[in-house]
Structure 1
Amino acid sequence: MTQRLRRPSGRYAGKAADERRAERRRRFLDAALELFGAGPGYRATTVAALCESAGLSTRQFYEEFRSLEDVLSELHLEVNAWAESAVVEALTDTAQLPFAERYGRVFRAYAASIAEDPRRIRITFTEIVGVSPRMDEQRLTRRARWVELIRAEAAAAVRRGEAADRDYRIAAAAFIGSVNGLLHDWAAGWVDASLEEVVDELVRLLLALLRPDG
């Protein structure tokens, strides 16, 4: 009877199988971040090229991922998770600050997380666009999460008397659309401005969105 192959489960070089697998997965993701975000891009990268960059085999790749699209998907979610963590931390740290200073810092925390590594901007706003229906759905689902975060924060600002009492769903969607569109165009080289100038303009837009009438 033929036995099915099993993943190694013991320790090797002082590391458990799960630790070694996590390290391999990280190496694939780091290699993909470089190739997708700074190199030829997602569409021009092959599994073989990714494996060569990661220093791993195609067999190891297919033990971790079904396709390159899975790698892109994980990178996109990871970059968004880092940015969301930075925003939540900034909201907590600025809870007692005046309106304009608070929301300026919060958005700049988001921008700093995304811009910490230029490859993150390209992954989030360029490489994922138009890849497949699955990736489009993931991108829009993640965008909806950002819209809801802004809408909820706007509602909290209304309760504190810092924002006009109205429905912010459309305004939040418009702002997130502006963020995605402007950063996409900036990353593609279509906007003649520094990233700092782009962020400053988006901060002004966010403050105008939330500022009470008068």
Structure 2
Amino acid sequence: MTGRLRGPTGRYGGRSAQERQAERRRRFLDAALQLFGDTPGYRATTVAALSEAAGLSTRQFYEEFRTLEDVLADLHLQVNGWAEEAVLAAATATEGRPLGERADAIFRAYAGNVTADPRRIRITFVEIIGVSPRLEEQRLARRSRWVDLICDEAAAAVTRGEATRSDHRLAAAAFIGSVNGLLHDWSAGWVDATLDEVVDELVRQLLSILRPLEGDS
């Protein structure tokens, strides 16, 4: 198949074709969050099963997507987008506050958003892994955005005299790996700690990277 089937145009039931298309895509993504993020998982889901879960037809699926991989790609971006919105809101709310307060608020917002639904964790840290070079590139690109955010925070903290001047990119990349691994292990029940304790540890690690010669307060 070289492209998606074309859907109907014009208004129907008081909604435009664009509105109906957006609703269909939302229903497919909602169904994918359930099937990919829980049971049976991305690799065991079929187009027919996803369409049935969405309450739509396979023809409607192919009007919106080419493959199930396209759905997973969109869902991965959506889940990351939710987390990024939460982080940016926390960053805005703590504008001008000391580094320790900002770091705590930002990572509490991220952890709270990602762990609010175990299916989001599975999409972000499990189902996306090893699917294809294309999705691996997307996963690494999203991780790079989180590294950039930490580097931006570090640069601002250096300007305020709250962090040590350094090239923080390597440390930030290592830290993001720790964030992903720890949150995944916590959600799987492999870490005997509360979410608050997990976030406290992540904030401690971040501050030790940014200002290794100072205390955490």
State the partner residue of 1:81. 81
Cα distance per residue 1:161-193 (max 9 Å; x no partner): 010111101111111111122223334444344
State the partner residue of 1:149. 149
State the partner residue of 1:61. 61
Structure 1 CA distance for aligned equivalents of residues 89 and 176 of structure 2:
19
Greater shift, 116-125 or 71-80, is seen at 116-125
CA 1:6/1:129 → structure 2, altered by over 3 Å: closer, same or farther? closer
State the partner residue of 1:36. 36
Residue identity matched to 1:113: N
Query: Structure 1: any 5+ residue segments left out of the alignment?
Result: none
Greater shift, 132-141 or 204-213, is seen at 204-213
5 Å-filtered alignment, 1:1-214, equals: 7-211=7-211, 213-214=213-214
Deviation at residue 196 of structure 1 after TM alignment: 3.5
Structure 2 CA distance for aligned equivalents of residues 84 and 189 of structure 1:
25
CA 1:167/1:56 → structure 2, altered by over 3 Å: closer, same or farther? same
State TM-score, norm by structure 2. Answer: 0.90
Identity across the alignment (%): 72
CA 1:91/1:121 → structure 2, altered by over 3 Å: closer, same or farther? same
CA 1:158/1:59 → structure 2, altered by over 3 Å: closer, same or farther? same
CA 1:169/1:111 → structure 2, altered by over 3 Å: closer, same or farther? same
Checking the alignment, whether the CA contact within 8 Å between 2:104 and 2:199 is kept in structure 1 is: no
Cα distance per residue 1:132-184 (max 9 Å; x no partner): 11111111111111111111110110000010111101111111111122223
Cα distance per residue 1:56-79 (max 9 Å; x no partner): 111100110111111110011111
Structure 2 CA distance for aligned equivalents of residues 115 and 184 of structure 1:
9
Deviation at residue 123 of structure 1 after TM alignment: 0.7
Deviation at residue 87 of structure 1 after TM alignment: 1.4
Residue identity matched to 1:183: L
Cα distance per residue 1:33-61 (max 9 Å; x no partner): 01111221111111111011001111100
Structure 2 CA distance for aligned equivalents of residues 6 and 77 of structure 1:
24
Checking the alignment, whether the CA contact within 8 Å between 2:115 and 2:187 is kept in structure 1 is: no
**SS at 1:56 equivalent:** coil
Structure 2 CA distance for aligned equivalents of residues 123 and 187 of structure 1:
13
Checking the alignment, whether the CA contact within 8 Å between 1:72 and 1:128 is kept in structure 2 is: yes
Number of residues of Structure 1 aligned to a counterpart in Structure 2: 210
State TM-score, norm by structure 1. Answer: 0.91
**SS at 2:131 equivalent:** coil
Greater shift, 96-105 or 144-153, is seen at 96-105
**SS at 1:60 equivalent:** helix
Root mean square deviation, CA, Å: 1.7
Residue identity matched to 1:55: G
